[in-house]
A and B are shown apart, each in its own frame.
Chain A
Amino acid sequence: MEIRGEETALLTDAPVVPPPIARKHATKVIVHLEVREVMKEITDGVQYMFWTFGGSVPGKFIRIREGDMVEFHLKNHPDNKLAHNIDLHAVSGQGGGAAATFTAPGHESIFSFRAINPGLFVYHCASAPVGMHIANGMYGLILVEPLEGLPKVDKEFYVMQGEFYTSGKYGQKGLQPFSQDKAIEENADYVVFNGAVNALTGDKSLQVNVGETVRLYLGNGGPNLVSSFHVIGEIFDLVYTEGGNRPNQTNVQTTLIPAGGSSVVEFKVDVPATYILVDHSIFRTFNKEALGMLKAEGKEDKTVYSGRLEDKLYTP
Chain B
Amino acid sequence: MLNHYSFVFVTTLILNLSAENSNTGKMVYLPNGVYHPFFKNSDDFDSIRLQAFYMDVLPVTNGDFLDFLKKHPRWQKNSVKPIFADSLYLKALSSHNLSEQPEKELIQSPLTYVSWFASKDYCECQGKRLPTTAEWEYAAQAGESEPVSSENSPLFRRILFWYSQPTVFPLPKTGSAPPNYWGIHDLHGLIFEWVADFNSALFSNDSRTKGGLESSLFCGSGNVSVTDLKNYAAYIRYAFRSSLKASYSISNLGFRCVKDLPLQGGKI
Which residues in A have some Cβ–Cβ distance to B below 8 Å? 37-39, 48-49, 78-83, 85, 87, 94-95, 98-99, 102-107, 126-130, 132, 167, 175-178, 180, 184
Give chain B interface residues in 135-187, CB to chain A under 8 Å. 160-161, 163-167, 169
Sample of 8 further A-B pairs with CB below 8 A, known A78-B251, A94-B214, A107-B248: A49-B165, A49-B166, A87-B218, A99-B214, A102-B218, A126-B218, A126-B219, A167-B161
Cα separation A99 to B165 with both chains bound (whole Å): 26
Cα separation A279 to B164 with both chains bound (whole Å): 28
A176: B residues at CB distance < 8 A: 164
B243 interface residue, CB < 8 Å from A? Answer: yes
Q: Which among B166, B236, B242 is the interface contact of A129 at CB below 8 angstroms?
A: B236
Nearest CB on A from B230, distance (A): 7
Give chain B interface residues in 201-246, CB to chain A under 8 Å. 213-214, 217-220, 222, 230, 232, 235-236, 238-240, 242-245
B252 interface residue, CB < 8 Å from A? Answer: yes
Of the A-B pairs whose beta carbons lie under 8 Å apart in the complex, a sample of 13, sorted by A's number, is A38-B166, A81-B163, A81-B167, A82-B236, A83-B242, A85-B218, A104-B250, A105-B250, A107-B248, A129-B232, A130-B218, A132-B236, A167-B161
Which residues in B have some Cβ–Cβ distance to A below 8 Å? 88, 160-161, 163-167, 169, 213-214, 217-220, 222, 230, 232, 235-236, 238-240, 242-245, 248-252
Cα separation A49 to B238 with both chains bound (whole Å): 21
A94: B residues at CB distance < 8 A: 214
Q: Which among B230, B242, B250, B252 is the interface contact of A180 at CB below 8 angstroms?
A: B230
Nearest CB on A from B190, distance (A): 11
Q: Are A49 and B163 in contact (CB under 8 A)?
A: yes
Cα separation A130 to B232 with both chains bound (whole Å): 10
Q: Which among A79, A83, A184 is the interface contact of B239 at CB below 8 angstroms?
A: A83
Q: Are B218 and A99 in contact (CB under 8 A)?
A: yes
Cα separation A164 to B259 with both chains bound (whole Å): 44
A87: B residues at CB distance < 8 A: 218-219
Cα separation A80 to B184 with both chains bound (whole Å): 26
Closest to B239 in A: A128
Q: Are B160 and A177 in contact (CB under 8 A)?
A: yes
Q: Are A95 and B214 in contact (CB under 8 A)?
A: yes
With A79-B169, A81-B163, A104-B240 already in contact, the answer to whether A98 and B250 are too (CB < 8 A) is no
Q: Which among B166, B169, B213, B222 is the interface contact of A99 at CB below 8 angstroms?
A: B213
Q: Are B163 and A83 in contact (CB under 8 A)?
A: no
B166: A residues at CB distance < 8 A: 37-39, 49, 79
Nearest CB on A from B127, distance (A): 30
Q: Are A82 and B163 in contact (CB under 8 A)?
A: yes
Closest 8 CB pairs of A and B: A83-B243, A177-B164, A126-B219, A128-B239, A104-B243, A49-B164, A99-B214, A177-B161
Nearest CB on A from B61, distance (A): 20
Q: Are B244 and A104 in contact (CB under 8 A)?
A: yes
Cα separation A37 to B167 with both chains bound (whole Å): 9
Cα separation A98 to B243 with both chains bound (whole Å): 12
A128: B residues at CB distance < 8 A: 217-218, 222, 235-236, 238-239
With A79-B167, A81-B252, A129-B222 already in contact, the answer to whether A180 and B236 are too (CB < 8 A) is no
Cα separation A178 to B232 with both chains bound (whole Å): 11
Which one of A37, A78, A83, A128 has the highest number of Cβ atoms from chain B below 10 Å of its Cβ? A128
B240: A residues at CB distance < 8 A: 82-83, 104
Nearest CB on A from B112, distance (A): 10
Closest to A183 in B: B232
Q: Are B88 and A106 in contact (CB under 8 A)?
A: yes
Cα separation A208 to B83 with both chains bound (whole Å): 57
Cα separation A80 to B250 with both chains bound (whole Å): 10
Q: Which among B164, B222, B238 is the interface contact of A178 at CB below 8 angstroms?
A: B164
Closest to A47 in B: B164
Nearest CB on B from A198, distance (A): 22
Closest to A178 in B: B164
Cα separation A20 to B195 with both chains bound (whole Å): 49
Cα separation A176 to B160 with both chains bound (whole Å): 11
